[in-house]
């Protein structure tokens, strides 16, 4: 086999490997985007963030995606995308994921604020209930109780 032919074969093999990596990354992004969209729909219904079933899987996939991006940024992994269509698909998926994650961030913040309001309402009710039955006033002294006094006309 000639050197040129061997180089050509190696280039084709590297391109096929790169395409497979890109397709795998696109599949990962698609699954992650679908999970985030599902979570966003549940958050839109008012479900608390703590009750969402997608959280663990979303975190697992996001970790894989972040690791891949970090490896590319560090130069330890290169994703050679020679196919223009495949490159466009990857960029399109990344933009969709970014939009879904931006919405997710807004919805999670709203869910956290709603949870904080619920917690504060419960705490306020508890404080009011304690204050109503406490024998002590705000100064720490025994509170004077209102005593009903009336006069009796029958003697």
| Mean pLDDT score, 128-134 | 81
153 falls within a domain? no
145 falls within a domain? no
60 falls within a domain? yes
Q: Which domain holds residue 64?
A: 7-133
Residue predicted with more confidence, 70 or 148: 70
Q: Indicate the burial class of 83 (C-beta count within 10 angstroms; 0-12, 13-18, 19 or more).
A: middle
pLDDT in tens, 1-46: 565 554 445 445 555 667 888 899 999 999 999 999 999 998 888 8
SS (H, E, C) 7-57: HHHHHHHHHHHHHHHHHHHHHHHHHHHHHHHHHHHHHHCCCCHHHCCCHHH
139 falls within a domain? no
CA–CA dist 153, 133 (Å, integer)? 33
> What total number of domains does the chain contain?
1
2 falls within a domain? no
What is the reported pLDDT for 10?
45
113 falls within a domain? yes
Q: Helix, strand or coil for residue 77?
A: coil
């Amino acid at each position: 086999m000639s050197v040129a032919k061997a180089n050509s074969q190696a280039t084709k093999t590297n391109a096929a490997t790169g395409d497979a990596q890109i397709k795998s990354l696109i599949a990962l992004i698609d699954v992650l985007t679908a999970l985030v969209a599902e979570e966003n729909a549940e958050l839109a219904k008012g479900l608390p963030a703590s009750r969402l079933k997608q959280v663990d899987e979303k975190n697992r996939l996001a970790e894989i995606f972040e690791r891949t991006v970090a490896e590319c940024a560090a130069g330890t992994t290169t994703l050679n995308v020679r196919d223009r269509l495949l490159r466009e698909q990857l960029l399109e998926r990344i933009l969709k994921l970014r939009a879904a994650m931006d919405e997710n961030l807004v919805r999670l913040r709203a869910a956290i604020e709603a949870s904080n309001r619920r917690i504060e309402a419960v705490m306020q009710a508890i404080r009011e209930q304690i204050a109503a039955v406490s024998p002590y006033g705000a100064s720490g002294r025994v509170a004077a109780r209102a005593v009903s006094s009336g006069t009796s006309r029958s003697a």
